[in-house]
Structure 1
Amino acid sequence: MLKKLLYKIEWEALMWLTALIYLFLINPYEAQHLTFCPYKNIGIEFCPGCGIGKSISLLYHFDFINSFHTHPLGIFALVILVYRIFHLIKQKYFNKKREVVYG
């Protein structure tokens, strides 16, 4: 029973959806947030990906100008993540392959 339930869950879509919900719930105007960036954690200041999460969070708060200034690819990243979630769900639950019967 548990094995069937674990098989039915689309884990990647759940992970991305959880991340987007987290970005919705945080306050992007606070100075410090939890970071998973290995560059920031070891003290390197420049990271090309840093700021995308804050940019997406600012988009949720309809602050488009600050979102773009935080990271120009934030809008693009949000569109790609939402597309990926829908694609994974569609592929897992709605894309039933038809069996071809020969003979």
Structure 2
Amino acid sequence: MVIRWIQKNLEAVIWICAMLWLGLAVNYQENTLGFCPFRYAGIEAVIGMDACPGCGVGRSIAAAIHGEWKISWHHHWMGIPALAIIAFRIVTLLITQHKNQPRHGYLPDVPARSSARRSRGHQRSYEQDDRIAKEPIPYDI
């Protein structure tokens, strides 16, 4: 049951895990560069930038999660809007999944009754369908 819920809500689970990681594991008070694939690939040295445009967004989001708005803005100005956008996306995914869920819970993985009847030979023949189609329609309703 839990695995099925995770499969149906995989994007929301990934976003929630990312926010938990940023909130619990990232030290936003340090001013280190952190992991930047552009810096490790040497692209920053080629284009002459000291940091890529996305450096600091993770620490900025982590600071915003902890309510440190000035530190968040100092690390990167896009951290606070990114946190708001990601939070909105998580809520939207969970509400959409809840609305699209059947009222009686998850459906079991068993074939429908009508398909089981057809496989046993209980379906109507074409002659019966023709006879039903040829019956007159009563107009005195």
TM-score by length of 2: 0.56
Gaps of 5+ in 1: 98-103
Are 2:56 and 1:57 aligned? Answer: no
How far, CA to CA, are the matches of 2:13 and 2:73 in structure 1? 27
The 2-side partners of 1:58 and 1:52 are apart by: 10
Would the alpha carbon gap of residues 73 and 20 (structure 1) be closer, same or farther in structure 2, given more than 3 Å must change?
Answer: same
Query: What SS is found at the alignment partner of 2:4?
Result: helix
What is the alpha-carbon distance in structure 1 between the residues aligned to residue 99 and residue 55 of structure 2? 35
Residue number among 76, 83, 104 corresponding to 1:71 in the alignment: 76
Q: CA RMSD in A?
A: 2.6
Q: Percent identity?
A: 35
Alignment of 1:14 with 2:19, yes or no, is: no
- Which is worse superposed, 53-62 or 40-49? 40-49
Show CA shifts across 1:8-59 (max 9, x none): 5311111111010001102212355752x42132132432122111001111
TM-score by length of 1: 0.74
Write the letter of the residue equivalent to 1:21: L
- 1-side partners of 2:30 and 2:78: how far apart? 21
For structure 2, which runs of at least 5 residues remain unmatched after alignment? 45-49, 103-141
The answer to whether the Cα contact below 8 Å between 2:60 and 2:73 also exists between their aligned partners in 1 is yes
**1:47 pairs with one of 28, 49, 52:** 52
Q: Distance in 2 between matches of 1:32 and 1:8?
A: 36
